[in-house]
Amino acid sequence: MKLLTEFYELCPDGMCPDLLTEREKKEIANGAMYLTGRIQTADKQNGNGRVYPYEVLRREVDNYKKIVADNRACGELDHPDDSVVNLKNVSHMIVDCWWEGKDVMGKMKVLNTPSGRTLKELINAGVKLGISSRGLGSLAVNENGIKVVSDDFMLATAADIVADPSAPDAFVSGIMEGKDWVMDGGIVRERLVEKTYKQINTLVDQRALQEQKLALFNKFLSSL
């Protein structure tokens, strides 16, 4: 399983007023900040060249809505390097997500945490930011050569807030796809493929060396 991240832009100025409730508008008048935007799209090739089938994405969004309803759906500022939400880096809470056609929309409340305060300053300064979803899953290539997200996909968080990754996105994807992820006792753990290969090769080399030493020793004994 690979860590899959996708980027979408926030609404202009960070939020679309028509997506806010009257209560949220009052909170904003008292200093709160909400962000809105598209967080995923189904059945359409995205900027990373991947397609999320509607049925797969619908299942994961339905599951994620339960986390949202329990006030447990948090996101971080910037790209983490794994699928786990680190509470010390949380900048916002996802308070709602819904479908508009084949697009998944999201609404986030910026929190009064160190990362949240940084996020608020960036938004107020006019820094262009976007939404990045995080999930784990494998990819298959269809008959047209397009990467399609498989049924094993699991949505980790619907919305981290990141800088526009139009230039460095290929670099980030390169790092993420150099790692593999496995389920270990119900916990998702990182497995470095290259490191595993090196360990296996080392064991093979050591065994060959031991076998060679034993053969030489036996040859020596037989010559006595």
Could you give the residue numbers annotated as active site?
A: 79, 132
Name the residue among 2, 8, 38, 30 with its Cα closest to residue 135: 2
Q: Using an 8 Å Cβ cutoff, are 89 and 162 in contact?
A: no
Provide the terminal-to-terminal Cα distance of the chain, rounded to the nearest Å. Answer: 57
Task: Report the alpha-carbon distance of residue 111 to residue 218 in Å, rounded.
Answer: 71
DSSP state of 43: S
86 to each of 83, 139, 170, 213, how far by Cα in Å?
9, 26, 24, 50
Tokens of residue 97, six digits: 């997500």
Quick one: CA torsion of 128, 97, 114, 133, rounded to 10 degrees?
Answer: -60
In three state form, how does the secondary structure of 59-80 look?
Answer: HHHHHHHHHHHCCCCEEEECCC
